[in-house]
Structures are given as structure tokens and as C-alpha cells.
Amino acid sequence: MSGRAPDAAAGPSAVPAAPPALRRAIVDTSAFTANAAHVAAVVAPAAVMAVVKADGYGHGATEVARAALAGGATWLGVADVDEALALRSEGIDAPVLAWLHGDDPDFTTAVAHDVTLGISTRTQLERAADAGSPAHPARVHLKVDTGLGRNGIQRSDWAAVFEAAREAEASGRLVVEGLFSHLSNAADDHDLAQLAAFDEAGARAAAAGLRPTIRHLASTAGALRLPETRLDLVRLGIGLYGLSPYGGVGSAELGLTPAMRVEARLIAVKRVAAGVGVSYGYTYRAASDTTLGLVPLGYADGIPRHVSNTGSVWVNGAIHPIVGRVAMDQFVVDLGESVAAVGDRVVLFGDPAEGYPSADDWAEAASTINYEIVTRLGRRVKRVHG
């Protein structure tokens, strides 16, 4: 048979290499390990809970959990039971606490999978006991409201709930393993007042016959700022991701490394004349002849519309402003006289030590906090873990 032979190197099933991703978040898992290890050393002898709720603050819960455990975290924290069960389905068997539930939850599956339950009401306590048995008791941490005003057992209910918890323990269906609360991080004096209220709750729990062995109150902010709030365990949230919980204090000052870099590719580059309007409503007009670049990310991907005309990105080693309104799928960058071409890499935010805008910069531009910047990224932004 005549004809050209197939390329042996390519093979019959060879496919073209995929083009560069239009939009992606590069996640450095080694940063989670390093950040967990750093904070664990700072807060010792308190233990560290790695908080991986909301899909690990948008970074990927499973990957964050494994890396944080490798760095010395001994607990995992999530908001709800579904998040905890997702970790279990990935083979993660470390202790995990889930603390946000509906008014009349069914904890049967959670207890069967050894998910520890944060309990904020008497009804939740009763449902946890219902799900436990002397052969496999439910393990719970009682959450008390010490002044944040969110979930947690109110002071007026402490006595009744503590007594009900003691009775459930006596039946063998439930073990009160922990007692916890959450600081407001409003100011040191407010947090210390909450610590005093927490100590009161602990004394009243003891008087009721409870002996929780794990007390936790502080998240990253309190743990790094107020050593007296560390107690037995600290909940490491935003610091695990290498971001600062404090305004005006950067990650590097706290010994933390940002784990995420969000980037895209320019999909259009055009030269325009002075006076040309950009994007919806013409909220920006070019002050002089300039070059515009189009970035395929928008508010559908979690890019805040509030960074319209306020945010900046990195392109080819320089910082350039976002101009015009951020649209659903795209935004425009004023490249000025810089040389740029379709396909050039654009970094929205990453580690400022590498010259990129930071999540803090973006938070300031959007009048929000760095937590929201990373957590809100949408599903079209491909996470690449390495």
C-alpha cells in the first residue's frame, strides 16, 4: 500500500497540545504546608486547626487540607457537614469540625463518618445525641456566644444546655470534646472581654459536670496578635492561605506566603486614539493615544465590578490599570506605550514579593477584604495545583 507512513513518535492517538488556559489560578500547595508550620511554631503549645471551608477559601479544600496536615495542623475546620463529608470521601481521616447547621439537622451520616459537630443550640445537641450511641457516640464542641452575636449558645441558655449535654454524656450517646467561640477582632479590649466571657462559660460548664479537653477561641488574627487567646487550639483560616488578617500589614511581615496567583492571557491588543471610550457607559476615555489589552475574566468569574477604573494587573513586568467597567466575561487594561501581543500573560494578583499586585491591593481597589477576593473566584477559573 502506498502513502505516507504515520508519524511513529506521535502515535495513532496523539492529540494536539492544549493551548494556554484563558484563565487560571495557580495554587502553590507548598505554601499551605509552610504557612501551617510557621503558625504552628508561633502558637505552640496550642495545636492548629486548618480551616478549609468554602472549598479552601477558593483554593481547593482537599489539596489545602492535605498540605496543611503535612505542615503540622492536627485538625480541619469546615462550615457544614457536606464539606466535611467531601473531605472524608477523598480519604482524609483527620479530625474535622463542622459548625454551621440548620435548625433541626439530621447528624446520622456525620456521626457515622466521625465528623465532630459544633453545637450552637439545644436542638442541635439533641439531634447529635440522637445520632450517637454508646458504641459510637457523637463527638461535639459546644459553641458559646461570647459577644459576636452570630451562632452560639446564648448566655441565658448556658445552664440548660450544659445540663442537657451532661445528661447526654451520661447516656453514652455523646461526648463533649470541646468548647469554643469566635472573637470579633474589633479591638484588643473587645477580644479580651470575650476571653473573659469564654472563661466564665468554661467555669459554668465545669460546674455542670462537663470536662471538654479542647478549648478554642482565636482565628488567625487573634492567634497572632493576642497570645492569651490561643488556649488549646487555634483556627488558622486566612493565614493558611498566606494572606494577612490585618489592614496595613502584609503577608511577608507575618512570615506568610500567598498561595494563589490568578492569571490570564491577553486575547486582543489594539491601538486607539485619544478620547476613545472604553467598555459600557464610557466611564473611561483614553487621555492620549494608547494601547488597550483585553483580558478574558469578568464578574462571572468572581472579578469584582468594583475594580472598574481602580484595579491594576501585571503584564510583561509592569503594572497597568484596569480601565472602563468590568463586564461579565472580560475587562480592559490600558497598556500605554508598552509592547504587548495577544497571548501575553496577565497576572491579576499573586505574591507581591514577585512583583505582582496582591490580593490586598485588589481588596483595596474593590473596597472589600482579601478573604472575598480569593474566595469568590468562579468555576471557569481553572485551579492548577503544584
Report if residue 1 sits inside a domain.
no
Asked if residue 346 is part of any domain, the answer here is: yes
Question: In this structure, are 47 and 186 located in the same domain?
Answer: yes
pLDDT at 10: 39
The predicted pLDDT at position 354 comes to 96
**Pairing, β 345-349 against β 260-265:** antiparallel
Would you say 331 and 322 are in contact if contact means Cβ atoms under 8 Å apart?
yes
Residues 105 and 231 both lie in one domain: yes
330 and 369 share a domain? yes
What is the pLDDT, as a whole number, of residue 2? 35
* Among 57, 143, 280, 282, the one annotated catalytic: 280
- Residue 210 and residue 294 share a domain: no
Q: Answer whether residue 23 is part of any domain.
A: no
Rg, Å, the chain Cα set? 25
Q: Based on the fold, state whether residues 45 and 162 are members of the same structural domain.
A: yes
pLDDT of 340 reads 97
Distance between CA 186 and CA 320 in Å, rounded?
A: 35
The domain boundary residue, chosen from 246, 279, 314:
246
Q: Does 140 map to a domain?
A: yes
Name the domain boundary from 223, 246, 269: 246
**Is 161 found in the same domain as 183?**
yes
Determine the structural domain holding residue 188 and report its residue range: 29-246
- CATH for 278: 2.40.37.10
The total number of residues shown for the chain amounts to 386
Let me know whether 301 and 231 are in one domain.
Answer: no
Residues of the chain with pLDDT under 70: 1-20
Same domain, 56 and 202: yes
Please report the pLDDT score of residue 7 as a whole number: 36
CATH number, residue 97: 3.20.20.10
Do 223 and 281 sit in the same domain of this protein?
no
Tell me: do 124 and 220 sit in the same domain: yes
Residue 313 counted as domain residue: yes
Nearest to 331 by CA among 369, 288, 383, 366: 366
Could you confirm whether 270 is annotated as catalytic? no
Residue 149 lies in a domain: yes
174 with 296, same domain?
A: no
Quote the CA–CA distance of 118 and 156 in Å, as a whole number.
19
Residue 237 half-sphere exposure toward CB, CA atoms < 13 A: 22
Please tell me the pTM assigned to this model.
0.92
Q: Is residue 281 located within the same domain as residue 206?
A: no
How many structural domains does the chain have?
A: 2
Read off the pLDDT of residues 218-238 as tens digits, 9 standing for 90 and up. Answer: 999 999 999 999 999 999 999
In 45-130, beta strands by DSSP E: 47-51, 75-78, 96-98, 116-119
Q: In terms of DSSP bridges, do strands 233-236 and 260-265 run parallel, antiparallel, or are they unpaired?
A: unpaired
Residue 15 within any structural domain of the chain: no
End of a domain among 246, 280, 306?
246
Does residue 98 belong to any structural domain of this protein?
Answer: yes
| CA–CA dist 25, 27 (Å, integer) | 6
Q: Confirm whether 382 is a catalytic residue.
A: no
